[in-house]
Amino acid sequence: MNGQRAYASVVAAYWGFTLTDGALRMLVLLHFYRLGYSPFTLAFLFLLYEAMGVVANLVGGWLATRYGLNVTLASGLALQVAALMMLSGLDPAWSPSWSVAYVVLAQGLAGVAKDLTKTSAKSAIKLVTPEGQSAALFRYVAWLTGSKNALKGVGFFLGGVLLSTMGFVSALRLMAAALAVVFAAT
């Protein structure tokens, strides 16, 4: 696969991931808000997501160098599908403390997935940037980062729409299926 085509494939996978990741944030936040959880608990639900993202960021570059971008991209997508399916298994009969612990663990998995996928997408820029052309590299990075931020916002909106139209579990399963298709296509 040539550099441009490989880059396009990675960016498309990253975009699909970014939509589901933004939607997942909104689904979790709004679902638990509806259930009456406190603002502190709502913030706590995302603690491991951020912490594991830092850990994955630290080792993601090493993993990509050692095993290749394909492995880190595939791992990130697969982990996100697993996190979505894990969250869809949340049982309303569980105690609030067990539900929070379960969601925090699933969010930690999603945090690892986010940074493995991000490492692959940002590293793939080198495939299409000619040696010594830092201006082109900065344009590609700016474009990828800008598109990611825009799609994350669309994902937030998508999460709200899916929650209000399909419900929590069905929305998670739909997103897992859509991301599995992205995984298979890449």
Give the SS3 label for residue 114: helix
Predicted pLDDT of residue 167: 97
Give the model confidence (pLDDT) of 127-159 as tens digits. 777 777 777 777 878 888 888 889 999 999 999
- In the chain, the amino acid numbered 42 is L
Q: Compute the residue count for the chain.
A: 186
Most confident of 47-51, 110-114, 145-149, 170-174: 170-174
Using alpha carbons, select from 44, 176, 56, 168 the residue that is nearest to residue 101. Answer: 44
Cα–Cα dist 105/119, whole Å: 22
Angle between helices 3-34 and 96-123 (to 10 degrees): 160
Q: What is the pLDDT of residues 59-115, one digit of tens each?
A: 888 888 898 888 899 999 999 999 999 999 999 999 999 999 999 999 999 999 999
Q: What is the pLDDT of residue 68?
A: 85
Per-residue b/e over 30-63, b at no fewer than 16 CB within 10 Å? bbbeeeebeeebbeebbebbeebbeebbeebeeb
What is the b/e burial string over 145-166, where b = at least 16 CB atoms within 10 angstroms of the residue's CB?
A: eeebeebeeebbebbbebbeee
Averaged pLDDT, 5-33: 91
Share of the chain above pLDDT 90, in %: 62
